[in-house]
Structure 1
Amino acid sequence: MMRTLPSIKRSGLVLNVAAAALGFSRKNDPNISKSVKRGLVPLAEQFFLLVGTIQPGPLFLLNLRVDLGILIARHRDHLPKSSVEALGLLDLIMRDLFATQGSMRFRRIDLSSEDLAAFVLKHERVHQVRGWGDLQRRLGGRQRYCFGLFHMHMPHAPLVFVQTVVTDHLCSNITPILEEETPVVKNPSHIIFYSVSTSNTGLRGLNIASHLLFLTIQRMSSMFPQCKTAATLSPVPGFARWFKAALASGDQQSQTTSDAKNVLQNKDPKLQRSEPLQRSFFNSEQAQRLNMKYGVNQLVLHKWLLKKLSDPAWHRDAELVDNIRDIITAACARYILFERRQDKILDPVANFHLQNGAQVEQINFMADTTPSALISALGMMINYRYCMTSIDVTSVSYKRKSLAAVSPAAARLVWPADSVILDEIERLKDKRNTPLFAKVFRAGEIISARGSLPTAIYFIAYVASLALLFEVRNTEHISLIGPVEYAYIPLTRTHFAKVKRLVSASR
C-alpha cells in the first residue's frame, strides 16, 4: 500500500508515523519535521556535534575516542554484551563526525607558521625529523612540499599530512631525499610521496589519508603538468618479522601454503602431491653460489641466512649484501603480493595503497639503512604507483577479489625472467597501462572449468613447487595469480606465442 502512494504523500505518512512513535503531534508542535529529525538523532550524537563546534572540541573528541578504544579492548570480556555494543555505537558516532569532507580544509604546510612546523616535527611518524635543518629541507626545500588536511575547528593541527618531492626519476632510496639539498630539477617527471603521517590514533577506521593523497596528486599535477607519474617510496614494516619467522620455521612455507597442505591431505588422493608443498627462498643457482662462496650446505641455507641477518651489522658486509640481494628482494615481493590474512595483504602499508588503487611498481633493496628500518624491513622499501587512468579498476579489484596490482618489473621477481607476456606488457607500457594482478588461490578452490571463460587463455609454469597462473583476457586485463597448489601440467611454448598474438592484436 505504501508503495502505491505518491512520493509526497508517502513521505508525509512516514513522518506522521515517526512523530507518533516519538510522542509528537501537529497540534502541539507546528515544526514537527524539525522535531522528528532532532528526535531521531541520539542524544550522544547531539552532544558530540555541539562539542565539535567549539575550538578545542574536535581534539577532545579524538582523544576521547582513543580512550574509548582502549576501554573496549581492555574490558570487552568482562562487560555485558549490551554494554560493549553501546560503547561500540559511541565509537562509531565519534568516528562519523570526522568522516564528512565538508568540515575538512586542504592546504600547504610550510615554514611560515611556527605552530605548524612544530606540529610536523612532533607528529612525523615515518621518518623522524632530525633537527631544524632536516625540517627546513622538508617544508621549505627546493621542489619539496608538504600538504595537510585540517578540521575547520583545528586550524593549527592537521589531522594527516603528506610530504612530497618532485624529481626526474622513480626514487629508489630515501637517503638522498632526507639528507641532501638536491638541485632544482629542470624537467621533472615524477611526484614522489615519501611520508604520510596521521596525527591522532582517534582517526582509526577513516580514509582521511587516502583523501589527502588524491587531493595532493591533483594539486601537484596542476603545479607540474609535465609530471606524468605519481608514486610513493614506502616502508615495509612487517617484512623482517615475517621473513625471519619463515627462515626459523625451517620449511620455508607461507601460511597460505601451510593451509593448502592441510586441506590437500584430507582431499581425494588424486589431488595430493608427492613433493612437500613448500616454497624455497633459494633457487638452485643461488644455492650453488652461496655454497661456493661460504661453504654452506643447501639443506641449512635458511638457518645460515637467519644467523647472518641476526647480526645488527650485517648490512655493512658489502660482499654478503651483494650475495643475498636477489634473495631478499624476491622474498619481499612474495610477502607483498601473496602473504595475506582473510584476503588482505599482511603488510599494513601495502594494504593501504592497494585499497587506494595503487600498484606495486618497484621493490628496492637497501633503500633505508637507518637502524629502525633495518630492524623492521631489512632496509627494504617499495614504490607504489598511482595511475589515475586505471585506479578505479585496481582499487575495486583488490577490495572485491583480493587482486593486488603489480608492475611487470615486480612480477618478474616471482616469475621466471624469460616471460613473453611480461615482455609484451612492458613494450606497450608507454601506450597504455595494462593492469597486472596477483592473487592467491587456496587448495580446493575452482579456478576455471572446461568451457567457461571462452575469451580467456590460461597457462601455468612451476617455480620450485610453487605453481603460478596467468590469465589473459581480450579486455586487456592480465592477471598474475598464485600460489596454486595443484598438479597442473605446464603449457607448451606454442601457447606463449598464442598469448603474445592475443595481446598484440588488442592494441
Structure 2
Amino acid sequence: MNDQPRRFLQRVWDSVRQPPPVTASRAADTLVGLCDSLLSERGEVSGARMAGEAMAAYQELNDAGRGAFFGQLVDHYTADPDAVTRAMDAYRANPTAARLHDLHLATEPRRLELFRRLNTAPGGIRTLVQMRADLLRTLADHPDRAVVSDDLLHLFRSWFNRGFLVMQRIDWRTSALVLERLIQYEAVHQIQGWDDLRRRLEADRRCYAFFHPALPDEPLIFIECALAPGILGYVRPLLDPQSAVEDPASARCAIFYSITNCQVGLRGVSFGNFLIKQVVEDLSGEFDKLRKFATLSPIPGFRSWLMSHREMMSEALASLALDSPASLAVIPDDLRDEIMRLCAYYLLRAKRGRAPADLVARFHLANGARLARLNWGGD
C-alpha cells in the first residue's frame, strides 16, 4: 500500500474514532485556567465573554470534575497569607482607617472576586446558585468546602436582598412554566396534578411568590393561603380539589398552610419573613373584613422528640408503638390528651439554644406568630 491511501485511511479513522476521555482533574484544571484568566482580565466586555466560557465549562463537568474544582476553590482561591501578615503588621504599626481597609482587602479570599466576575456572564447568577446547591450536597463528606459555601452565601445575601425581590401573585393565568415549577417545588403538601393546582389558585385561595429580575421564571419562595370564615383545625379540606369555592369577600381569616423555599443554592438567605409580612399587608388592603392571620402547620420534630423522652410518658402511653401516623389513629382519648400536653411542652420548652427545637415552630415564632392551639390530626 502506498502512502496516499494509507494517509487517507488514517484521516477516516481519526474522524470516526472516539477522542480520548478527559479526566475529571483535567477538566477541572481547564476551568481553573479560565478562572485565572478571568481574574487577570481588565476589559468588561472580554471579561463577560470569558466568564461565559468558564460557566459553560462548569456546566460540562461531571460530579468528580465539580468535586475537583471545589477543592481548587478552597486551596487555590484563598487569601494570600503573606499579604495578610504584611497588612496586619502595617495596621498594628499605624492603625488608621486606610490601613484597616488594606487589611480587609488582604483577608478577602480571591474566590469572592472570582464569583463577582463569573456573575457577569449571561445567566451567571443562575449557574452560581446551582453551583452552591452542588457544593452543599458534598459538605457532609468534605466539610472543608464550607468556606466556599459561606462566601457564596455572603454574596447571595446582597444580590438577593429585599430591594431586588419582586412579589407576584400566582394564578391560573400565570405562565405554564412557573406553574410547573410550583408542582415541582411544593415541599409541604404535594400538588397532585393540574386539577389540584387549579383548586389552590381559585378565588378563595391565594398563592404569592418572590422572584428576582435575573431569574424571572424561577420562584425563590412561594406561600399558599386559604381565605376562610375562621381558623380551621384540619388541612384536609383545604387540599380537597373537589371542595366548593367560597366567596373570598366574606372571609374573616387568612390561613397560611404551605410555604416552600425553592432554591437549594439559596439556603440561608432569608425570604420567608419578608414574604409573609408583604402578603399580610396586601391581603389586608384587598379584604377589609380580614381580622385574623393564622398558620396551619405540621410539627415535624415532635414524634422523634416524643420517642426519645419516654420517661415523661405514663406507663400506658410508653407501652404503645408511636412510630407511624397509623399508630396515632387508634390511641384512646385519654392518651390523646396526654400526647397533646407533651406536644405543648415540646413547643414551649424544648430548645435548640434559645430558639424552639422544632424547625417549623422556630420559623413561625421568629416571624411574629404566637402559639394559638394544637389540632389533633390537623395535618
For the aligned pair, the TM-score class normalised by the smaller chain equals 0.5 to 0.7
Q: Secondary structure at the match of 1:148?
A: strand
Contact in 1 for aligned 2:153/2:268 (Cα 8 Å): no
Number of residue-to-residue matches in the alignment: 281
Of 111, 115, 122, the match for 1:48: 115
Contact in 1 for aligned 2:228/2:255 (Cα 8 Å): yes
CA separation in 2, counterparts of 1:173 and 1:229?
17
CA separation in 1, counterparts of 2:227 and 2:217?
26
Offset of residue 40 of structure 1: 9.8
Q: Secondary structure at the match of 2:140?
A: helix
Name the structure 2 match of 1:211: 274
The structure-2 alpha-carbon separation of the partners of 1:197 and 1:85, relative to structure 1 and needing over 3 Å to count, comes to closer
Of 88, 107, 124, the match for 2:168: 107
CA separation in 2, counterparts of 1:244 and 1:98?
42
Name the structure 2 match of 1:337: 348
Encode CA deviations 1:328-358: one digit per residue, 9 max, x unaligned: 2111111111111222211000011111121
Q: Secondary structure at the match of 2:230?
A: coil
Contact in 1 for aligned 2:224/2:258 (Cα 8 Å): yes
Offset of residue 89 of structure 1: 4.7
Offset of residue 38 of structure 1: 9.8
CA separation in 2, counterparts of 1:74 and 1:39?
30
The structure-2 alpha-carbon separation of the partners of 1:208 and 1:310, relative to structure 1 and needing over 3 Å to count, comes to closer
Written as runs of structure 1 = structure 2, the 5 A alignment for 1:81-480 is 86-87=147-148, 89-112=150-173, 113-139=175-201, 141-179=202-240, 180-247=243-310, 251-252=311-312, 281-282=313-314, 300-304=315-319, 306-307=320-321, 309-310=322-323, 313-317=326-330, 320-368=331-379
The structure-2 alpha-carbon separation of the partners of 1:321 and 1:215, relative to structure 1 and needing over 3 Å to count, comes to farther
Offset of residue 185 of structure 1: 4.7
CA separation in 2, counterparts of 1:215 and 1:53?
31
Encode CA deviations 1:215-256: one digit per residue, 9 max, x unaligned: 111111111122121111111111111112222xxx22xxxx
Written as runs of structure 1 = structure 2, the 5 A alignment for 1:60-71 is 60-71=127-138
Q: Secondary structure at the match of 2:195?
A: helix
The structure-2 alpha-carbon separation of the partners of 1:94 and 1:175, relative to structure 1 and needing over 3 Å to count, comes to same
Give the structure-1-normalised TM-score.
Answer: 0.51
The structure-2 alpha-carbon separation of the partners of 1:88 and 1:182, relative to structure 1 and needing over 3 Å to count, comes to closer
Over the matched positions of the two proteins, sequence identity in percent amounts to: 29
Encode CA deviations 1:407-435: one digit per residue, 9 max, x unaligned: xxxxxxxxxxxxxxxxxxxxxxxxxxxxx
Structure with bigger helix share is 2
CA separation in 1, counterparts of 2:367 and 2:124?
30
Give the unaligned 5+ runs of structure 2. 1-95
Question: In structure 1, what residue type is equivalent to 2:181?
Answer: F
CA separation in 2, counterparts of 1:53 and 1:158?
21
CA separation in 2, counterparts of 1:162 and 1:136?
15
Give the structure-2-normalised TM-score.
Answer: 0.67
Name the structure 1 match of 2:17: none
Q: Secondary structure at the match of 1:214?
A: helix
Question: In structure 1, what residue type is equivalent to 2:278?
Answer: L
Encode CA deviations 1:349-389: one digit per residue, 9 max, x unaligned: 00111111211111111112xxxxxxxxxxxxxxxxxxxxx
CA separation in 2, counterparts of 1:41 and 1:156?
33
CA separation in 2, counterparts of 1:154 and 1:181?
35
CA separation in 2, counterparts of 1:312 and 1:207?
32
Q: Secondary structure at the match of 2:196?
A: helix
Offset of residue 157 of structure 1: 0.8
Q: Secondary structure at the match of 2:364?
A: helix
Name the structure 2 match of 1:380: none
CA separation in 1, counterparts of 2:252 and 2:358?
29
CA separation in 2, counterparts of 1:144 and 1:72?
39
Give the unaligned 5+ runs of structure 1. 1-12, 23-36, 253-280, 283-299, 369-507
CA separation in 2, counterparts of 1:125 and 1:85?
25
Of 106, 129, 142, the match for 1:75: 142
Contact in 1 for aligned 2:255/2:296 (Cα 8 Å): yes
Q: Secondary structure at the match of 1:243?
A: helix
Structure with bigger strand share is 1
